[in-house]
A and B are shown apart, each in its own frame.
Chain A
Amino acid sequence: MNQLLIIAVDGLVFASWLFLVSVGLSLIYGVLRILNIAHGSLFAVGAYAGASLVVAYSTAGLWAPGALGVLLVAALAAGLVAGPVIERGIIRWTYGREPVMQLLVTFSVFLILEDLTKLVWGVSPYYAYQPYQLLGQVRIGGIDYPAYSFLLLLVAALTGVGLWWFVRRTRFGRVVVAVIHDPEISVAMGVNLSRVYVTTFALGSVLAALGGAFTAPMISVVPGIGVEVIVLAFAVVVVGGLGSLEGAAAGALLIGLVRAAAVHLLPVLELFTIYLVMAAVLLVRPLGLFGRVEARRI
């Protein structure tokens, strides 16, 4: 019983992190129909921005809990600067082109951003553990968890609810839904497609950077962290259904729980549980849990 509780908590903690790092990828695919490989680099930029700002903030000896706000500011700044620049400067030239070409372009952006982060932050690791240790511990099932993990759970839940509200309850969100369903009719109805695209890409970039910034206090921020994330994020959105926000949440939860169970019960399987889940889901539902069949346009 105790072990089941620990597995559930570990699964939820990992799922919240997975959701944070993958929901932006799903959002951008849903609207722009582009699988943004550069998502991993935007995660890394967010992590570096968050780590360097937290280090500066902590060194200045300012109010310690403010470091959590600093992470948010870092994510917003990184996403809102990088997102529109990448979309307007590079991605928009690929609209309407072959998917493979779009994939190659976002992969090129990924490589450029990887080198840019090395140019800006160097290759030495950054440590921003102050926020991670700030909130103390919570004892569950006889073992200690950092309260920061539950803050991450809260951030993921607020992000999910916020996105749902934005898409379903705001005027701009409804425009986004219209574009998702039929960009051509949306344009005919007077929708400014460029504005929708750049806003969505910026929002997706902020989400990637948010995942990076809130991961930074838990890890050593080193070159290459973006590569790992893009693989995981891709698995999550494929399981959930490409382009579906609900799917990203369900995919993260499923993978998080199965992986936690493997770590506790059958550690030797841990390495490929994610791909096992992906393969099993795709066998039953080839478009993912929340994927929709689309009419072919001629």
Chain B
Amino acid sequence: MARSAKGWLAVGLALGVLVTAVGVRTWAGPVRPAEVRVGIVTFLSGAAAAPFGIPARNAAEVIISELNAGRVPAPYNTPGIGGVPIRPVIIDEAGGAEKQVAELRRLVLDERVDLVIGYISSADCLAVAPVAEELRALLVMFDCGTNQIFEERTYRYVFRTHGHQILDNVGAARYILRIRPQVATIAGINQNYAWGQDSWNTFRDSMRKLKPDVRVLAEQFPRLFAGEYSAELSALLAARPDVIHTSFWGGDLESFLIQGLPRRIYERSTLVLTTGDTVLPRLGQQIPPGVVIGARGPHGALAPNVPLNRWFREVYTNRFNVRPVYPSYHMSQAIFGVKHAYEKALAANRGAWPTKEQVAAALRGATFDTPSGTIRMALGNGHQAVEGVAYGITSRFNTATREMELTQVFHFPAECVNPPEGMKSEEWIARGFPGARCP
């Protein structure tokens, strides 16, 4: 049946109204969701679970539940994100980089998460960052240490809300020269993969640059998860360096300390543990006095005495019967960074729910408060955070906290231990830390 001209006009008008409505709807941006779905990727199994993955997951759980209940101190005292509750989707990081790439795709395309906070392993971060960019998915990396990510390429959707490994090891070198300025010889024992090699190279090169007459007596690189360090300890004891640097973590660090104690390695050399904060609550008196402890930033035992930190320590300890360690703090930085960015974008959008591009723009170059102090997204075109670092040295066992107390604690500000924007870390160290401002 043929339709009349009037009929066609009516259909045309109806379609026009519909298209306009859809257009207006699209132009107005996304609707306010019932929940913000956040993919959280952390080690729940394997060797990195107990020291890093589980403390990070615990931090995510407790912070998100407190945020949703509106019980977090200012400036995060509004419920959820802009009043919308956060729903975590937690998955295991174990299984290797290829699996993580597939899991990221699943989280974004199937689980429809609004953003992903994740990754402890540097290999995983390097693998997933380009994929997140390709998917145009917001990714906030919370704990991986490699400095390569934002020094090798630029990103639009990928961020990292904590400092990279350069600050750990430049800070360790500066700390050693502050407490033992007469140091003449150094040695290192680090795991034989990117993290261990990069950490040692940064520490060694920083020491050489800051005190050119320092000699390297031994460089040990046992395999990851070796567990047995008898020969390496003998080599270090025989070399008798003034300082031994290690970026060991987890079970490897604990085994090294257990085996080193009866061999009195602490009596001959000052031991520097760049990730030592994670073992303080675990090993108690098995860590002797005189060991330099780092926390990959001002975290854990070295965190500042600010209201957010006091709140975080209290809620975490009450729920898990142990204090938070640095991976927990790194997780807190990612979550608070995301809340800060969303709410900044909401305000800029006059209350309308922001697009992920608007959230990314709000996080780019942002400055926000965390339990570890103020974080600045100052590197990598505003995508990479800088933070200060703190080191201390074990003194005596505190029977109340069941931990070794730290003394001679020094905080090095971000501009002292991070390269300036636009300069690669290796170049910064090789050129003698240009632009560094240290107290």
Contacts and interface: CB of A to CB of B under 8 A. Distances in A.
Tell whether A pairs with B: yes
Interface of A: 2-3, 6, 9-11, 13-14, 17, 118, 123-125, 127, 129, 132-133, 136-137, 141-146, 148-149, 215, 217-220, 222-225, 227-228, 259-260, 263-264, 267-268, 270-271
Contacts of B219: 267-268
Contacts, number: 129
B201 interface: no
27 contacts: A10-B231, A14-B231, A123-B44, A127-B283, A127-B286, A129-B258, A132-B262, A133-B261, A136-B262, A141-B238, A144-B264, A145-B263, A146-B263, A215-B227, A218-B228, A219-B259, A220-B251, A222-B250, A223-B45, A224-B46, A224-B225, A225-B251, A267-B218, A267-B219, A267-B220, A270-B220, A271-B221
How extensive is the interface on chain B, given as a class? Answer: 35 or more
A17 B259 CA distance: 14
B263 A125 contact: no
Nearest to A10: B231
B288 interface: no
B186 to A, nearest CB: 15
A268 B219 CA distance: 8
B232 interface: yes
A141 B230 CA distance: 14
A271 B219 CA distance: 13
B97 interface: no
B220 to A, nearest CB: 5
A158 to B, nearest CB: 20
A6 B222 CA distance: 18
B33 to A, nearest CB: 34
A260 B229 CA distance: 10
Nearest to A268: B221
Contacts of A144: 237, 262-264
Contacts of B264: 137, 144
Given A132-B262, A218-B258, A123 B231 contact: no
Interface in B247-304: 250-251, 254-255, 258-259, 261-264, 282-283, 286
B255 A218 contact: yes
Contacts of A127: 254, 258, 282-283, 286
Interface pairs A-B: 6 shortest CB-CB:
A220-B254, A10-B231, A263-B231, A222-B251, A219-B255, A146-B262
Given A137-B262, A263-B220, A228 B282 contact: no
Contacts of A259: 231
Contacts of B223: 270-271
Contacts of A129: 258, 261, 286
